Amino acid sequence: MTDRKTELAANLAKVEERITAACAAAGREREEVTLIVVTKTYPASDVRILSELGVRHVAENRDQDAAPKAAACADLPLKWHFVGQLQTNKVRSVVGYADVVQSVDRSRLVAALSKEAVRAGREVGCLIQVALDAGESERESGGARTSSEGRWRETGGRGGVAPAGIEELADLVADAPGLRLDGLMTVAPLTGEYAGREQAAFERLMDLSTDLRRSHPAATMVSAGMSADLEQAVAAGATHVRVGTAVLGVRPRLG
């Protein structure tokens, strides 16, 4: 093995141990949790090594980086998740490689994704990204056309729709040709009532998922937890954890 492969194998084994321990502690089966490795800022050669090591789900957050990487890795049996804020002018490119877009947070994005998915003859899975620092009662949603860009700024540029906006956006996705409503995603908030309370935040996301599944029973994905808080996400019931740093190392630049 190359040095890098040895390093990534060791890191993956540690993350695997953490997920296994967290599942055991929560009385869950290991198979209930899928590891998504966030490869942003790392080269296609690392993605290739991860694939050799058995990783099947990778995630990226910037189309400029992700598109060439996905093209370089098109021969690998990988599912690609898009987890970054997505501008509508990048949607055509993203739909070319993404199996799942985890950052759906406004109606304009749903419309653009649907149009491009149909055009490409693809079905794209969608997660509604929930902003848990937005305040529960705020009724911003994909339906609130003009305020949605403002919502990004209010959530520190991390994206997401307030809980009150989930249902409307979910219905839009479910009815959109070329799209499949897969579930919910969140990033532990840095501000607001859940700041520093990752597990409470993820439990709130689980409650929102339970509500969503009443009207959309197939939308079972709950994507939560990163390198620092995957245990809390597994404890809360997450089905997917998104781990970057703990597998690939500290990123050379912000991303």
Ligand X SMILES: *Cc1c(COP(=O)(O)O)cnc(C)c1O
List interacting residues with ligand X (CB under 6 A).
38, 40, 61, 83, 187, 226-228, 242-246
User: What's the token pair of residue 224?
Assistant: 């939560």
Tell me how far apart the alpha carbons of residues 91 and 117 are, in angstroms, rounded to a whole number.
9
Nearer to ligand X, 226 or 234 (CB): 226
Q: Please state the closest distance from residue 255 (CB atom) to ligand X, in A.
A: 7
Nearer to ligand X, 83 or 124 (CB): 83
Question: Nearest 5°: phi and psi at 136?
Answer: -65, -40
Nearer to ligand X, 143 or 156 (CB): 156
Q: Please state the closest distance from residue 33 (CB atom) to ligand X, in A.
A: 15
Nearer to ligand X, 61 or 114 (CB): 61
Please give the C-alpha separations between residue 177 and each of 43, 90, 141, 168, in angstroms, as whole numbers: 33, 19, 20, 16
Tell me how far apart the alpha carbons of residues 15 and 160 are, in angstroms, rounded to a whole number.
27
Nearer to ligand X, 93 or 227 (CB): 227
Nearer to ligand X, 34 or 227 (CB): 227
| CA-based nearest residue to 96, from 127, 74, 128 | 74
Please give the C-alpha separations between residue 148 and each of 12, 112, 145, 235, in angstroms, as whole numbers: 37, 15, 6, 32
Q: Please state the closest distance from residue 184 (CB atom) to ligand X, in A.
A: 13
Q: Please state the closest distance from residue 221 (CB atom) to ligand X, in A.
A: 14
Q: Please state the closest distance from residue 155 (CB atom) to ligand X, in A.
A: 12
Tell me how far apart the alpha carbons of residues 60 and 26 are, in angstroms, rounded to a whole number.
29
Q: Please state the closest distance from residue 40 (CB atom) to ligand X, in A.
A: 6
Tell me how far apart the alpha carbons of residues 127 and 243 are, in angstroms, rounded to a whole number.
17
Please give the C-alpha separations between residue 128 and each of 16, 136, 140, 229, in angstroms, as whole numbers: 26, 16, 13, 20
Which phi-psi region, left, alpha or beta, contains residue 84 (left: φ > 0; alpha: ψ -120 to 50)? Answer: beta
Q: Please state the closest distance from residue 152 (CB atom) to ligand X, in A.
A: 14
Nearer to ligand X, 112 or 226 (CB): 226
